Amino acid sequence: MKNRIKKLIFILIINFFVISNVLSEEIKFEANTIELVDKDKRIIAKKNVKIYNEGETIYADEMDYDKSKQIINAKGNIIIDNLNENIKIYSEELTYLKNIEKIKKFNRNCI
């Protein structure tokens, strides 16, 4: 009986970590137009795109999100608004690696 309880607790703990990891990979965004491509593996958003992240919001004209690679390519009138550090970065295009939370490339102007 004790072994069954231990196994059940172990399975519940493993499921909790797996579910939290899956949920943390989601991206939150909004746009006027959203198109799902290739059986929902890719999302293309256009017009007034807002990408929400911890402590920052990325505004863009267009976004192309590859769900399998966790890569966001954004372009057109980009503003990265970092609320924690009170920094704004302006660009015309960027690549955001969601899985490691890094912006890989962009042409920038900081204020």
Q: Looking at the domain assignment, is residue 22 inside a domain?
A: no
Q: Looking at the domain assignment, is residue 12 inside a domain?
A: no
Q: What is the mean pLDDT of residues 83-108?
A: 79
Q: Looking at the domain assignment, is residue 8 inside a domain?
A: no
pLDDT tens for each residue of 1-16: 566 666 656 565 665 5
pLDDT tens for each residue of 24-78: 457 788 888 888 888 778 888 899 899 887 778 889 999 999 988 888 899 998 8
pTM of the model: 0.67
Under 8 Å between Cβ of 59 and 50 = yes
Q: Looking at the domain assignment, is residue 64 inside a domain?
A: yes
Q: Looking at the domain assignment, is residue 72 inside a domain?
A: yes
C-alpha span between 13 and 91 (Å, rounded): 43
Under 8 Å between Cβ of 97 and 104 = yes
Q: Looking at the domain assignment, is residue 17 inside a domain?
A: no
Assign 18 a pLDDT band (cuts: 50, 70, 90): very low
Q: Looking at the domain assignment, is residue 7 inside a domain?
A: no
Domain extent at residue 98 = 28-110
- Number of folded domains that form the chain: 1
Q: Looking at the domain assignment, is residue 60 inside a domain?
A: yes
